[in-house]
Structure 1
Amino acid sequence: MARLTALAGGAALALTVTLALVALPVAAHEHPSGITDLVTPAVVRVEAKARVDITLLDHVGDLVHVERSYDVPIGVGTGTVVSPEGAIVTLTRVVKSEQDVAVHAANRIFAEHHDVRIPADFERHSLKDDVLDRHLKQCYPPLSSRATCIIDVTTDITVFPNVSPADPKGLKADLVKAGPRPDSPAVLMTSSRVVGSVGLPTAPLADKVPEAAGAPAGVAGFLGRPGPDVPYTVEIAHLGRGGGSGETGRPFADPDKKVDEPVKLAGLADRGMRGAPVIGDKDGHVVGMLIGGGKAARMIGVREITGALTKAGIAPRRGAIDAAFEAALTRYHTKYHTEAAPGFQRVLELYPGNVVAAALLKESLAKRGGPEDLGARKAAAPADGPTPLWPFIVAAAVLFVVAALGAFVLWRRGRAAEPEPVPPPSATTQPSPAGLPLDEGASQTVVVRRSQPFAVIPRQKQAPAALGSPPEASIAYCTACGMRLGQAHRFCGYCGHPSET
């Protein structure tokens, strides 16, 4: 019975597994190698300039106050949004100049007002005229009580997000924390309203830099202000050996040595991709930032980025846009275009103008219902009617029959292996001399002869019960086994011993 119950349970379990496999949903997807779509919506163009308001106090002739305002470019580069509120990381050299913009403004206002030849640069110059030369030097910072200039410098940082149509004005941002070196991370925070009501799309930060030499990565950024003719640029790179932390950074190196990657990436840095995120190949997260220029580009690691954010008191996090976009992106990369299209539409509702979501939505709509769309089968299932149940009923019947046959075979084997019970002796069965029951079902009579002295037991006489009744015959017993003998028996009916010897 126990075997029967176990077999029936196994059949039920097999049927349950079969039904579960039919209704099994699509497994969670790990992003394929080389993906950069998680980061590119959060890539922005950063432009910084210094606004210098300068007043020249001309004491050479009549006292004259000359006022001028100059916009002095500080730097351009690429930044990455790391929180929906608008926290952005870039390089310090992009938003803070190593040169003194006050000196530049002093050179320009002196040249314009006094009509002298002074280069409009950041160097301190001298003039042949002693009076003008003294007044020029008193205009340069640091300012003193005898200064001939009053200078006020403010930094103007503008962030241009990756949206379509392009935002010509951009978003204003404030410098929250600058690094100690030009290639240290700097943290910005947008000060103007962002597009949409749930903030900006963000990029996920990796836990660490890949340790393996030659690990593939992507570098994404802008070579100009975003627009129809200036889309974001993605370039493939490979991490070299060692480094990755501190001011030295980590080099790039093509493992096949077909491309001089330090020179290639340095050219991109000089053209506007300084501070661009370096995207890991494994899961598409940011592992560092592009630094350098000239003929040597390198990468500072993600630990420097998170360290700068900690000092600025900002915690990187993901938002509602990112959750919707990543869900749609998963369906897109698993070729479920029918399901991916509504997901990208939801992203555009949350953040209108998302360039990456718009491009992927267009592609998903083009492939929806086609041979590449795995979701088309699921979408076509309701039009063809419900899934027939007869295959499952037949499978269940077959499993039940197999279980029943197996249980019957096990039951038969168990019956054959069990010994037949010995029936208890009845009241009329005479015991053998050894105390065992007699074998009445024997197929052959075995005659056992013994030679023992024969003793005649005298017959007992009984008185007649009444007049006219015959006398009762005497009773005789076998001298070999003790069984009762009939009057006409010549042999014992049990052991075969002759009644008379």
Structure 2
Amino acid sequence: MPRLHSLIAGLVVLGAFVPPPLHEHPSGSTDRVTPAAVRVEAVARVSITLYDDRGVIRRVRREYEVPIGEGSGFTVTPDGAVVTATGVVKSDRDPRVYAANRVFAEYYKVKVPADHSRHRIRNADLNLRLQRCYPPVAEDSLCEAEVTTEVKVFPHETSPAKGLPARILHTGSTPAAAAVLKVTEGAEDETLPTVPLATSLGNVESVDFMTLPERPSLDKPPVLTAVHFDPPGSGTFRKNEAKTIDKVLGRDGDGAAVIDDGTSEVIGLVTGGGGDPVIFTPVEDIRAALVAADVTPRRGRVDVVYETALASYHNKNYTNAIPVLQQVLRLRNTHAVAAAYLQTSQQKAGTAEDSGAAGAQPETTPERSGSFSPWLLAAGGVVVAGLLVAVLVPMALRRRRGRAADETGEPVFAEAAFGEAQAGGSGLGGAGPNPASWPPQAALEYARPAEAQLPLGITPVPAPVAGGAVPDPQAADAPPPGGTTMRFCTRCGMRLGHAHRFCGFCGHPVESP
């Protein structure tokens, strides 16, 4: 094998080296987050009994539905853990006061406003009775009330849903603090889309608000509003955007996700607007609330397959996107964004816009008049040399560590992690989990329920690799050598290497063999 420096020099001088195309998930694509948007609505059901002790004692029983709050939120686990703002599901107003005003006005035929304030009326006897109807309950109280809080979550789906019932796991000490809910029915199959949740705020400047001013459906998607931190990473928004923010959040925006426009990850939530102060709650506080609720945020298999489809869709490879989007809808047939993208892909597949169509020619840059500067060529050579060093040196180290592992019989974690990063990550040192780089067939097989073994009925076109070759689908699905079983990380969904104790992409411990 020629030495590394000889190979670099030969390729640079001859100009024969063309760096292979590196595919990474497109940054700034908020459609990684929008499938997991939810609208949250909370009400208090009050059952109140009024006692009339004038003459013969009478009991008057009424039931009222008292709104607590409504706003936006997002799902963080495929089995239905939801994050929103505390003020959406917990009010500082007592619904028993509202119920007392309603039942007193209806029974005694007097004018008492139907609100959450304590009132007084001119008639002294009735006024005394009204005051004795307000909470708290005492020995001389004339009203008793029981309150039940009901919370419903409305996911972003293809058609308006009736809402999924949820219970409150955790609330904060202020209305702007993060609250954690858990869907109690409708998420047993663990196919709810989830958001990629950041680990820290970072030095972020450009962000997007994701709000749901009404119950979502295919034609009523989340509203995305671009705003900015000033200074970056401060959590304080630009002053010249105050009117826009106030208007957007005033339309039931409490609990709206704040998305980093560069990484497409959720970095916090926001409350306020409509005249109230705008308060940003960072992702560190959200993670603390999840810990208090004993919830670990995680992605599901629907997310892995969906993001694989996004890679083809954003690269305008509609032919390859179709079967993967169809598999997303097999796993969850109400996935609104996948349904919309499938329709677009089917319309554009095989057309001039489709980069995956048979005979499609790659886009070329028109030639410009004039000649290239020799300094430009020299700079190109330096860049090429740097790329070769970054790629070939770790490959050489990998072979050496592999030989060392064969001699000692011990696995080498660093070498294996790098090898997996080349296979399923960004291709340069394993920059992080990147399900979008999986071949479509691998994603389809990973997401297919093992117990069902449903036939797909379609054969996706494998993604071409560097050099124009098309991989063999059977080779991509072949089990690892030695008869071992293919395994995947339960946190990020990426493939695990043999004998690994930790995921080579996110560092999550391997919980089961």
Asked whether the two chains share a fold, i.e. TM above 0.5, the reply is yes
**2:110 is aligned with 1:125:** no
Q: Aligned Cα RMSD in Å?
A: 3.0
**In 2: Cα distance, 1:234 partner to 1:359 partner:** 17
CA contact (8 A) 2:164 2:183 kept: yes
CA contact (8 A) 1:219 1:279 kept: yes
2:300 to 319, 322, 335: 319
Deviation at 1:11, TM superposition (A): 11
CA contact (8 A) 1:111 1:117 kept: yes
**2:199 is aligned with 1:199:** no
1:116 to 105, 110, 116: 110
CA contact (8 A) 2:217 2:336 kept: no
1:251 to 236, 247, 260: 236
CA contact (8 A) 2:251 2:274 kept: no
Residues 321/22 of structure 1: CA separation in 2 closer, same or farther (3 Å cut): farther
Partner of 1:261 in structure 2? 241
Secondary structure at 2:30's aligned position in 1? Answer: coil
Partner of 2:254 in structure 1? 274
Residues 8/106 of structure 1: CA separation in 2 closer, same or farther (3 Å cut): closer
Partner of 2:61 in structure 1? 67
CA contact (8 A) 2:206 2:228 kept: yes
1:154 to 130, 141, 148: 148
2:172 to 173, 179, 189: 179
**2:289 is aligned with 1:305:** no
Deviation at 1:198, TM superposition (A): 3.2
Partner of 1:51 in structure 2? 45
**2:213 is aligned with 1:220:** no
What percent identity do the matched residue pairs reach? 39
CA contact (8 A) 2:352 2:360 kept: no
CA deviation vs aligned residue, 1:395-422 (integer Å, no higher than 9, x gap):
xxxxxxxxxxxxxxxxxxxxxxxxxxxx
Deviation at 1:217, TM superposition (A): 1.2
Partner of 1:165 in structure 2? 159
Secondary structure at 2:281's aligned position in 1? Answer: strand
Secondary structure at 2:357's aligned position in 1? Answer: helix
Deviation at 1:368, TM superposition (A): 1.8
CA contact (8 A) 2:49 2:60 kept: yes
**2:190 is aligned with 1:209:** no
Deviation at 1:172, TM superposition (A): 0.5
1:88 to 73, 82, 93: 82
Deviation at 1:377, TM superposition (A): 4.5
Higher-Rg member (1/2): 1
Deviation at 1:27, TM superposition (A): 3.2
**In 2: Cα distance, 1:145 partner to 1:91 partner:** 37
Which deviates more from structure 2 when the two are superposed, residues 130-139 or residues 97-106? 130-139
CA contact (8 A) 1:53 1:70 kept: yes
CA contact (8 A) 1:46 1:79 kept: yes
Secondary structure at 2:299's aligned position in 1? Answer: coil
CA contact (8 A) 2:354 2:360 kept: no
CA contact (8 A) 2:46 2:96 kept: yes
Structure 1 unaligned regions, length at least 5? 1-5, 245-249, 255-259, 381-501
**For residue 363 of structure 1, what is the amino acid of its counterpart?**
T
Deviation at 1:354, TM superposition (A): 1.0
CA deviation vs aligned residue, 1:42-73 (integer Å, no higher than 9, x gap):
00011111100001011134211000000011
Secondary structure at 2:152's aligned position in 1? Answer: strand
Secondary structure at 1:217's aligned position in 2? Answer: strand
Partner of 1:232 in structure 2? 222
Deviation at 1:8, TM superposition (A): 12
**In 2: Cα distance, 1:278 partner to 1:105 partner:** 37
**For residue 310 of structure 2, what is the amino acid of its counterpart?**
L
**In 2: Cα distance, 1:347 partner to 1:157 partner:** 28
Secondary structure at 1:127's aligned position in 2? Answer: coil
Deviation at 1:342, TM superposition (A): 1.1
Partner of 1:100 in structure 2? 94
Residues 71/25 of structure 1: CA separation in 2 closer, same or farther (3 Å cut): farther
**In 1: Cα distance, 2:2 partner to 2:192 partner:** 59
**1:423-434 maps to which residues of 2 (within 5 A)?**
none
**2:361 is aligned with 1:367:** no
**In 2: Cα distance, 1:158 partner to 1:376 partner:** 44
Residues 89/64 of structure 1: CA separation in 2 closer, same or farther (3 Å cut): same
**In 2: Cα distance, 1:7 partner to 1:73 partner:** 75
Deviation at 1:128, TM superposition (A): 2.3
**In 2: Cα distance, 1:58 partner to 1:229 partner:** 52
**For residue 201 of structure 1, what is the amino acid of its counterpart?**
P
Deviation at 1:336, TM superposition (A): 1.9
Deviation at 1:197, TM superposition (A): 2.9
Deviation at 1:228, TM superposition (A): 5.4
Partner of 2:23 in structure 1? 28
**In 2: Cα distance, 1:7 partner to 1:140 partner:** 90
**In 2: Cα distance, 1:9 partner to 1:217 partner:** 44
CA contact (8 A) 1:216 1:237 kept: yes
Residues 9/227 of structure 1: CA separation in 2 closer, same or farther (3 Å cut): closer
CA contact (8 A) 1:223 1:230 kept: no
Residues 242/135 of structure 1: CA separation in 2 closer, same or farther (3 Å cut): farther
Deviation at 1:199, TM superposition (A): 2.6
Residues 65/206 of structure 1: CA separation in 2 closer, same or farther (3 Å cut): same
**Number of corresponding residues:** 358
Task: Give the TM-score, by structure 2 length.
Answer: 0.65
